[in-house]
A and B are shown apart, each in its own frame.
Chain A
Amino acid sequence: MSSTDGTAPPDRPADKKMDLGPVGHLGDRLFAALARGSGGLVVLIVAFVGIFLLALAIPALAKDQSNFLFSRIWEPGGDNPRFGIAALFYTTMISSIIAMAIAVPIAVGVALFTTYYAPKRLASPVSHAIDLLAAVPSIIYGLWAIIFFAPILRPVINGLSDALGWIPLFEKPPTDNVGVVFTASVVLAIMILPVVTAISREIFAQTPTTHREGALALGATRWEMIRMAVLPYGRSGVVSASMLGLGRALGETVAVLIILSVPNGNDPWDPSIFAGGETFASKIANNAAEFDTPEKTGAYIAAGLVLFVVTFLVNSAARLIVARSGPGNKRPRKVRSDKNGADKAAQTEGAAS
């Protein structure tokens, strides 16, 4: 039709395009718009989480009479609100780091067991059993821990504090309560175990057969094969799995809320892991009933924002570790397969949890 004026290119006549063009054109555009919209929505949601928390935290922070980052006081109410996150930050970090230190070696052991030790028939049910640990709701962990598990940890705590009590970190607290940071850490370790195990397992299973058989053919024992082939191959994956586990532990709320005993307001601050305390998450959840004025709410939202930023950094670090072991390394061939392994595991992590 329009080709009568001679402007259309000769190799693509306009009427030929009409034959295929209109089929489902509207549907295609609609569908593409929906898909792009959903992708955009995800980006918007994450951006909004940051923006809205910041917007509500800033007015409260402006009225804060003490140093938000370095003060240990938390009195957000009244005309002269004074609040700082130092104590919360300390308890959150120390409990999660101890949890990670306990969970990672065991998780690596379990992952090695299911990939290279357990009989084939047993391996799959065993990994499903460990995955089921992730399915137990956190409130049930908390309940079980404070009633049944914490009393059993008491002798361990006494022993550790007797032996290492001269270090402030392990100092014996005056009271004999069970709801201490150390107990929370052990329970957090149990809770992040399935995540770290699932990712490590995924990566160990991807160790190239040639590496493993090469080691065995040289006369290596099974353990030597694992040390020479499997562990070096999976190292960056395990590190990134640990960081993801750490991120999980940092944000865990209800189990920690149930376990940790809240220190008395008048008590001096106690850095010991054998004392009570509050993490960001447990502090916020514990005081949900107090969100009555915008200033008070703002203080808790500011604490939540810090938690968001910390978990963001930890999770980004985990992804970065995966990405950094990319090109430019001394051993490009192995490193490239490292990256693939870790990527795949990072993707399955969502489903595994």
Chain B
Amino acid sequence: MTTLAANKPAYDGTTLDLTGKSGGRAFRNTLATVLIILCFLIALVPLLWILWTVISKGYNLLLDGSWWSESQRGITVRRVGGGAYHAIMGTLIMSLICAVIAVPIAIFGAVYLVEYGKGTRAAKVVSFMIDILTGVPSIVAALFIYAVWITILGLNRVGFAVSLALVLLMLPVVLRSTEEMLKLVPDELREASYALGVPKWKTILKVVVPTAFGGIVTGVMLGLARVMGETAPLLILVGYSKNINLNPFDGFMGALPTMINQDRTELALQPAADRVWAAALTLILLVMLLNILARLVARFSTIKSK
């Protein structure tokens, strides 16, 4: 306040000066506007640049039908051909298994925070732990599963272990967004249901969750999008296989991020480079599609009353 008063042009006693912005203040205002717009443009550059790079270098192979139906079996870095079917299926299988495990825990966890534990000390502890889990780096999650699955249980490196590591990363995302949605459900709906003699669990199942359903779906999709692009757990917990392997409990498995990683040191060779960028584009398409779908679901299913 004081700085503003000091900057104000002095009132000379004859005319009331309403237009008077001193040159310095006007200049600073313009400078700030320019800088802020510049910040925004700077932020857009990498996004457009990355999208342009990946699309322009990768789209060619995607137009080929074999990209979607064949694996890389028997194809060396110097040879053209093959597809990404093994990697696409691997990515889908591992992230779907992850979702099947993570989503129920996340939804029940959110139900606990909003419907059962509200305001209790225990709920605060759970909430704090979710914050911590949100911050766990993917490599730490992968190391934890490595410690349990391989070092302690003595099992092999398989796709399912990756799914377990991804659960740790997906759980907090889905739980938090579900919690937000459940909080938005108006209490009047719950009270109306209780007044009709409906027990609490049925109220949650038939009134609260359906009301928040759109938001929950959005959270699940954003969670899926996050785990699909994860590479670190794949590097540690499963080997890359060029063959089609649809069994998450046995053998190595292809995945889009590891397919990129496999050939990234061979980019001087055209066939390998083409495949790397095509795999990158496929991965971006999958992730972006999920993101855009999630936002569409969110837009058409927002809870109106609040």
Residues of B within 8 A of A24 (CB): 199, 201-202
Residues of A within 8 A of B236 (CB): 284-285, 288, 291
A140 pairs with B54, CB closer than 8 A: yes
Contact digits for B167-201, partner A, Cβ 8 Å, 1 yes 0 no: 01001110111011000000000000000010111
Known: A41-B105, A132-B291, A224-B25. Is A48-B144 also a contact (CB below 8 A)?
A: yes
A117 pairs with B139, CB closer than 8 A: no
A304 pairs with B139, CB closer than 8 A: yes
Dominant secondary structure at the A interface? helix
B109 pairs with A38, CB closer than 8 A: yes
Residues facing B in A9-27 (CB within 8 A) are 20, 23-25, 27
Residues of B in contact with A, size category: 35 or more
Residues of B within 8 A of A316 (CB): 132
B257 pairs with A35, CB closer than 8 A: no
Q: Complex formed: what's the CA distance from A39 to B4 in Å? A: 51
- Name which of A76-84, A167-175, A305-313, A333-341 contacts chain B: A305-313
Dominant secondary structure at the B interface? helix
A143 pairs with B276, CB closer than 8 A: yes
- Name which of B76-84, B223-231, B246-254 contacts chain A: B223-231
Contact digits for A26-50, partner B, Cβ 8 Å, 1 yes 0 no: 0110111011111111110110110
Interchain Cβ contacts under 8 Å between A and B, 27 examples: A20-B197, A35-B109, A38-B105, A38-B109, A39-B109, A42-B130, A45-B133, A45-B168, A46-B129, A48-B144, A53-B143, A53-B144, A109-B38, A110-B39, A136-B284, A137-B230, A140-B280, A144-B53, A197-B43, A218-B4, A224-B29, A285-B139, A285-B232, A297-B146, A301-B147, A319-B128, A349-B134
- A positions within 8 Å CB-CB of B: 20, 23-25, 27-28, 30-32, 34-43, 45-46, 48-49, 52-53, 55-56, 105-110, 112-114, 117-118, 126, 128-133, 135-141, 143-144, 147-149, 190, 193, 197, 215, 218-224, 226, 228, 244, 247-248, 250-254, 258, 280-281, 284-285, 288, 291, 294, 297, 300-301, 304, 307-308, 311-312, 314-316, 319, 346-351, 353
Q: Other than the known A23-B197, A49-B168, A132-B47, what 5 A-B pairs have Cβ atoms closer than 8 Å?
A: A24-B199, A136-B229, A144-B49, A312-B135, A350-B175
